[in-house]
Amino acid sequence: MRFHFFILLILLPGCGTNPDKPYSDTPTSGKAQMAADETLLPLIKAQVDTFHGLYRYAKINMIYKSEDDIFNLLLADSAKVIVATRKLNSKEEAYFKSRNLIPVTTKVAIDAMAIIVNKSNPDSLFTLKQLRQILNGEVNTWKKINASSKLQNIAFVFDQNGSSTVRYLQDSLLSNKSFPEWCFAAKSNNEVIEYVETHPNAMGVIGVSWISDEDDSVVRGFLSRIKVAGIARQESASVDDYYKPYQGYIAEKSYPLIREVYMISREGRAGLGTGFVSFVAGDQGQRIVRLNGLLPATMPVRLIKTQ
């Protein structure tokens, strides 16, 4: 209750603010440049569009870049707020401390990485060990996954160098080792989907918000073109041990490839960046997180068991 009261205090005063006043911005008016991890684009675009619809004097210029790029923008003060899947590291904290700045980090969601394969591929269930073997170079053909497969060499594609996807895979599955030659970068999550769609031997990894909102016609189009894989934690898994990145399985941690989403603000005052962070972390923003298939950070998700 106190949290929502705080949000109300921040957001309400600016609803009718005139943007022509001499000061630059308030929590609900003015202009500000922010940046978000490109793997989160569908979710953050929905948040920005809704915020603009509610506060007509607010203009957020949201830039979608790789993880390395958005943190560089934050350090250079070219983005007052970033949306990322990690917190500041020790070097970045030291940088801000040397300038007497204390960025504010707010957890807003729990995200997942989705593994996708071509629509015609009969193999769409993988254990974590198999993923690890593909990414570390031990397994390079589909026949090593399934002896009866008619496909040849595996092509594994991710979004771009310097992305949160690359860091996540290296940290969680590779112990910071390099990828083999059959793993390569596209330029975006959209291009990963396009590559997997047109190459039967390909598999890829994308942010789950690109394919989780089935009410969205674009998402339905994506899902008609590729297949989302099920992942099992244990090596000897039955069919029931494989989980897809559905919201309920993210919530109960049955799906293994999950990560947290943070908004990091260097604004240091009650400006538009603070207002937007408060909106996303508040009731309406958390509902948008839930509708986009991610797990809200501050709102419980009801799990319904189906037959």
Q: Which residue type occupies 90?
A: S
Q: Which residue type occupies 194?
A: E
Counting beta carbons within 10 angstroms of the beta carbon of residue 137, is it exposed (0 to 12), middle (13 to 18) or buried (19 or more)? Answer: middle
C-alpha distances (whole Å) from 102 to each of 69, 261, 264 are 20, 19, 10
Q: Are 205 and 158 in contact (CB under 8 A)?
A: yes
Q: Are 57 and 28 in contact (CB under 8 A)?
A: yes
Q: Are 55 and 28 in contact (CB under 8 A)?
A: yes
Q: Are 96 and 103 in contact (CB under 8 A)?
A: yes
Is it the case that residue 131 has pLDDT exceeding 60? yes
> What tokens appear for 116 in the block?
């996708």
pLDDT at 182: 84
- In 3D, which of 65, 108, 23 has the Cα closest to residue 280? 108
Q: What is the pLDDT of residues 167-210, one digit of tens each?
A: 999 998 988 778 888 899 998 999 999 999 999 999 999 999 99
Measure the CA dihedral 170/213/283/245, to 10°. Answer: -40
Q: What is the pLDDT of residues 9-44, one digit of tens each?
A: 444 444 444 444 544 799 999 999 999 999 999 999
What does residue 115 show for φ and ψ, rounded to 5 degrees?
-95, 130
d(CA 99, CA 75): 11
d(CA 280, CA 259): 18
β-partners of residue 156 are: 183, 203
pLDDT at 301: 57
Is it the case that residue 5 has pLDDT exceeding 60? no
pLDDT at 217: 74
